[in-house]
Chains A and B, each alone.
Chain A
Amino acid sequence: MKLIAILRKSFTEQIRQFWILILTITMAPAFVGIYYLIYESTKLNLQVNVVNQDKHLLTDSSTIDYGSTLVSFLSTVRNDTMPVRFNYAVDRATAEDQIRTKKTNGMIIIPAGFSDSIRLRQSGVDVQVPFEISGNLTETYYLLSAVLSITYVSGYINEVTGTRESYRYTETAAGQSSKLDDYTLAIPGLLILATIMLMFSCTIAFVAEPEKKTMLRLKLSKLKTGTFLTGVTIIQVLVGLLSILLTLGVASLLGFSFSGSIWLFLLICILTCLSIIGFSLILAGMTKTVTEVLVVGNFPLLLFMFFSGAMFPVHGATLFTLGGYDFTVPGLMSSYHGIDALKQVLIFNAGFAEIWPQVVCLSGLSIIYFLVGYYDYRRRHMRIF
Chain B
Amino acid sequence: MRLFLSMSEPIRIQTRNLTKRFGEQVAVDHINLEVNLGEILGFLGPNGAGKTTAIRMICGLLKPDEGEVLFNGQPLLELSQGKALLGVCPQDNVHWDRLTCLEQMTFIGEMYDLSRRVSLVRSKFLLDQMGLLSQSHKQARRLSGGMQRRLNIALALVHDPPVLILDEPEAGLDPQSRVLMREFIRNLSGSRTIILTTHNMDEADRLSHRVAIIDEGRILMTGTPDNLKHSTGTGNQVELDFGHPLPAQVIDSLKTEFRSIRQLTTHNSQLFIHLPDPMKALPDLLAFINHAGFHPAEIKMRENTLEDVFIQLTGKKLQP
Contact = CB atoms under 8 A, between A and B. Distances in A.
B166 to A, nearest CB: 14
Given A221-B84, A384-B60, A384-B61, A216 B94 contact: yes
Contact of B111 (A213, A221, A384, A385): A221
A222 B82 contact: yes
B83 A220 contact: yes
Interface string A206-240: 00000011101111111100000000000000000
Nearest to B84: A222
A217 B94 CA distance: 8
B147 interface: no
A217 B97 contact: no
Q: Is the interface of B mostly helix, strand, loop or mixed?
A: loop
A214 B111 contact: no
Nearest to A228: B111
Nearest to B152: A217
Interface in B52-90: 59-63, 82-84, 86, 88, 90
A143 B211 CA distance: 84
A384 to B, nearest CB: 6
B83 A222 contact: yes
Interface string B129-155: 000000000000000000000000001
Contacts of B155: 217
B95 interface: yes
B105 to A, nearest CB: 11
Contacts of A212: 94, 96-97
A220 B62 contact: no
B92 interface: yes
A213 B167 CA distance: 14
B240 to A, nearest CB: 51
Contacts of A223: 111
Contacts of A217: 88, 94, 108, 111, 155
A229 to B, nearest CB: 15
Contacts, number: 42
Nearest to B94: A213
Nearest to A222: B83
A385 B82 contact: no
Contact of A216 (B84, B90, B97): B90
B59 to A, nearest CB: 7
Contacts of A221: 83-84, 108, 111-112, 159
Interface string B258-280: 00000000000000000000000
Given A384-B61, A385-B62, A220 B94 contact: no
B192 to A, nearest CB: 16
A11 B244 CA distance: 59
Contacts of B108: 217, 221
B96 A220 contact: no
Nearest to B82: A222
Contact of A220 (B63, B88, B97): B88
Contact of A213 (B60, B86, B92): B92
Contacts of A214: 94-96
A256 B296 CA distance: 99
Contacts of B95: 214
Interface string B155-193: 100010000000000000000000000000000000000
Nearest to B155: A217
Contacts of A219: 61
A223 B96 CA distance: 16
A216 B62 CA distance: 12
A385 B96 CA distance: 25
Nearest to B99: A214
Contacts of B159: 221
A221 B94 CA distance: 14
Nearest to B61: A384
A218 B86 CA distance: 12
Contacts of A216: 61, 88, 90, 94
Contact of A218 (B63, B82, B111): B111
Contacts of A385: 60-63
Interface in A221-270: 221-223
Of A212, A217, A219, the most chain B CB neighbours within 10 A belong to A217
A384 B61 CA distance: 5
Contacts of B94: 212-214, 216-217
A212 B97 CA distance: 9
A158 B92 CA distance: 86
Nearest to A213: B94
A86 to B, nearest CB: 63
B141 to A, nearest CB: 11
Nearest to A218: B111
A212 to B, nearest CB: 7
Interface string A193-213: 000000000000000000011
Interface in B26-61: 59-61
Contacts of A213: 90, 92, 94
A217 B86 CA distance: 11
Contacts of B82: 222
Contacts of B97: 212
Nearest to A219: B61
A213 B52 CA distance: 15
A345 B182 CA distance: 67
A183 to B, nearest CB: 39
Contacts of B96: 212, 214
Contacts of B83: 220-222
A212 B63 CA distance: 23
B20 to A, nearest CB: 12
Nearest to B111: A221
A218 B104 CA distance: 12
B224 to A, nearest CB: 30
Given A384-B60, A385-B62, A220 B86 contact: yes
Per CB-CB distance, the 9 closest pairs between chain A and chain B, nearest first, are A221-B111, A385-B63, A213-B94, A222-B83, A221-B112, A214-B94, A220-B88, A220-B83, A223-B111
Given A213-B94, A217-B88, A222-B112, 5 more contacts: A214-B96, A220-B88, A221-B84, A384-B61, A385-B63
13 contacts: A212-B96, A212-B97, A213-B92, A214-B94, A216-B90, A217-B94, A217-B108, A217-B111, A218-B111, A220-B61, A221-B83, A221-B108, A222-B82
